[in-house]
A and B are shown apart, each in its own frame.
Chain A
Amino acid sequence: MRDERKYWLDDRRNVTKVVWGLVALCALLFVADAFYDKHPHFIAETYFGFFGLFGFVVCVGLVLAAKAMRIVIKRGEDYYDD
């Protein structure tokens, strides 16, 4: 079954629009930190934009660490099929 319909996301420019939308949303959420009462348990929570920065940094760290793990633990797909 061949489907030649074009979808909105098939256009790279629209994907870029989505990415910029995400960037704008993140900027908005970052600024929002100035406009609510914090009830922190820990000092870190009082830093401006802590949760956003924490999320970004740990995710990049997670992916790069996992990528590095491949060097040691990656094997062929049929590794266990003797």
Chain B
Amino acid sequence: MTTNPALILIFGALPIPLLQGRLRTAYLLALPLVGLGYAFALEPGLHWQVDFMGYGLELLRVDRLSRVFSYIFFFAAFLGNLYALNDNDPVQQVAAQVYAGSAIGAVFAGDLITLFVFWELTAVSSVFLIWARGTERAYRAGMRFLIIQVGSGVLLLAGLILNVRDTGSIAFDLLGVTSPGTALIFIAFGIKCAFPFLHNWLQDTYPEATVSGTVILSVFTTKLAVYALARGYAGTEMLIWIGATMTAFPIFYAVIENDLRRVLSYSLNNQLGFMVVGIGIGTEMSVNGTVAHAFTHILYKALLFMSMGAVLFRTGTIKGSELGGLYKSMPLTATFCIVGAASISAFPLFSGFISKALIITAAANEGYWLIWAVLLFASAGVFHHSGIKIPFFAFFAHDSGKRVQEAPWNMLLAMGIAAALCIGIGVWPGPLYAILPFPVDFQPYTSAHVINQLQLLFFSALAFTWLMRTGLYPPEMRSTNLDSDVVYRKLLPWLVRRFLAVFGPVDRAARRLATESVERLIAVVFRRTGPKSVLARTVAVGGMVLWVIVLLGVYLLLNFT
């Protein structure tokens, strides 16, 4: 038996509150790296079987797919811990280790029951990263987050029970949407993966977490869902269309959103779309693309959230309408942010280029011209809002006059490492390609590919510039934009209130009628049988005798007729 490396983080979190100062710092940095080393050393295979109520649980399945996700999860946990060092909040530190650990545990789960347990544990542990913000707003956002995440787990459990009834198996392999059970599991994964109309918990709650909490949240929950979909639903054609929708619609919101961490949440949703398309196509190349994109995405998205977190940490705000000109006082953060922006935009020599190319080329190879065009549109769009808007409105645009300190050393170091990897993977994609699930036979750096991508990006930049110079670009303004969360935050409460307003009087009238009828009945019965009723009246003996004689007389009469 070999232990699941996830337990290193989950149980390793326990002593954190007891450690102090440098010892805790060293411990937090070492813990995920020990886990990473352990994951590297694992041989492929099934390593840990446990018998549970007649079902064989597979607590540690190591194969190429689970391995690559575990590597990036452990490494992201390390970056998150480094970034959060200056915060030094034991609650968040414990929550982050348990959260990262349970995501890794889920990735190594070989059966649906184990997956379910870790799936719920990610929900319960991650909500503390939102609550740690300490505001009423964050508390309520955390409650919404928890209800939706736990709800996803409940659907997973229901689907797993139906699936066991149908097939008798709890194995977590290729499922496909073939029965009510597998459909429920699909929806459970879809909620965590932020499918259209199931997506809004992401944009609603991630920006409400703490400075480091958002960075850590951005890594695990959604990419765990991508992993689960890649494992269970590769080649499900529906996913191509779902994914293409996900790449396209969030970017419209991103253009007009003012909270820059919310802009990044919308672009996170858009990037998940690319991965979902790759899963839906289901060829070796496209699934490789999905895994590679999840890998590079975790790094550049965390980097972008780190840079915006540093801005929030130093200036106290993250609203585009109040920022600008920060390159003067936070030049290093601005530089790292631009590296992240170039990576998410898939500039040649940056990491997004070598991963997204696999997915788009796979879509073209299979002849999906409409999907290809949508992905191209989404690529231009993501450059527009994540590549340009984020660095532009935070660090350039009009000078807000804010002069602050550069980010703390630990944040700069975390951003620097992430930025170096973004460039390193972009320049030298070989090592990443080598750990993907299938062999890679793909050359991202062809002259056609590089020139086409540069054309797409620079003309998008030209469009942005033209719209800014002509004043057509919508200004950043303090606002809330309605998204699907309006359904459960406004519409449903409103419907309940309307329902009560209409049916409240009816209900009250019906109750009054019922009470009055009962009261009247009681009054009648009382009159007939109560102490003053005819039957209860006391009667003189003479009168009684008279009535008996009358009765006997009538009886006699009836007897003879």
Contacts and interface: CB of A to CB of B under 8 A. Distances in A.
B381 A41 contact: no
Contacts of B474: 63, 66-67, 70
B333 to A, nearest CB: 16
Nearest to B384: A59
Contacts of A3: 328-329, 403
Given A53-B459, A75-B481, A66 B255 contact: yes
Interface residues of A, number: 52
B529 interface: no
B465 interface: yes
Contact of A59 (B451, B463, B483): B463
A63 B255 contact: yes
Given A9-B396, A33-B455, A36-B448, A55 B480 contact: no
A49 B384 contact: no
Nearest to B258: A77
B457 A55 contact: yes
Given A60-B467, A75-B481, A65 B252 contact: yes
A51 B377 CA distance: 10
Contacts of B457: 55
Interface in A21-80: 22-23, 25-26, 29-30, 32-33, 36-39, 41-42, 44-45, 49, 51-56, 58-60, 62-67, 69-70, 72-80
B77 to A, nearest CB: 32
Interface stretch (B18-26, B151-159, B284-292, B364-372): B364-372
B322 to A, nearest CB: 12
Given A9-B396, A74-B256, A26 B462 contact: yes
B459 A26 contact: yes
B478 interface: yes
Interface string B445-489: 011100111111111111111110100111000111111000001
A56 B463 contact: yes
Contacts of A37: 447-448
A66 B473 CA distance: 10
B123 interface: no
Given A9-B396, A62-B384, A74-B481, A52 B463 contact: no
Contact of A19 (B328, B469, B472): B469
B242 interface: no
A51 B456 contact: yes
A15 to B, nearest CB: 9
A59 B404 CA distance: 33
A52 to B, nearest CB: 4
Classify the secondary structure of B's interface with A: helix
Interface in B478-531: 478-483, 489-490
A60 B458 CA distance: 13
Given A3-B328, A29-B454, A59 B464 contact: yes
B281 interface: no
A39 B137 CA distance: 53
A79 to B, nearest CB: 4
Contacts of A13: none
B254 to A, nearest CB: 8
B482 A55 contact: no
Contacts of B329: 3
B459 A32 contact: no
Contacts of B469: 19
B381 A80 contact: no
A73 B200 CA distance: 15
Nearest to A69: B252
A59 B490 CA distance: 32
Given A38-B448, A42-B364, A66-B474, A51 B455 contact: yes
Contacts of A58: 376-377, 380-381, 460
Contacts of B482: 72-75
A62 B251 contact: yes
Interface string B410-441: 00000000000000000000000000000000
A9 B397 CA distance: 10
Given A51-B455, A56-B462, A66-B256, A77 B381 contact: no
A29 B458 CA distance: 9
A47 B403 CA distance: 49
A60 B365 CA distance: 29
Contact of B447 (A2, A36, A66, A72): A36
Interface in B113-132: none
A39 B462 contact: no
Contacts of A41: 364-365, 367, 369, 372
B455 A22 contact: no
Nearest to B463: A59
A69 B251 CA distance: 12
Interface core residue of A2, A51, A53, A76 (most chain B CB under 10 Å): A51
Given A70-B256, A74-B481, A80-B480, A26 B380 contact: no
A36 B451 contact: yes
B465 A22 contact: yes
A29 B328 CA distance: 31
A10 B381 CA distance: 28
Given A22-B461, A63-B255, A74-B479, A55 B489 contact: no
A41 to B, nearest CB: 4
B460 A55 contact: yes
17 contacts: A10-B399, A26-B462, A42-B364, A45-B452, A51-B453, A51-B459, A54-B456, A55-B455, A56-B459, A56-B462, A58-B376, A59-B459, A59-B463, A70-B256, A70-B481, A76-B479, A80-B490
The 10 A-B residue pairs with the shortest CB-CB distance in the complex, in nearest-first order: A59-B463, A66-B255, A41-B364, A55-B459, A52-B455, A51-B455, A52-B459, A73-B482, A55-B456, A56-B459
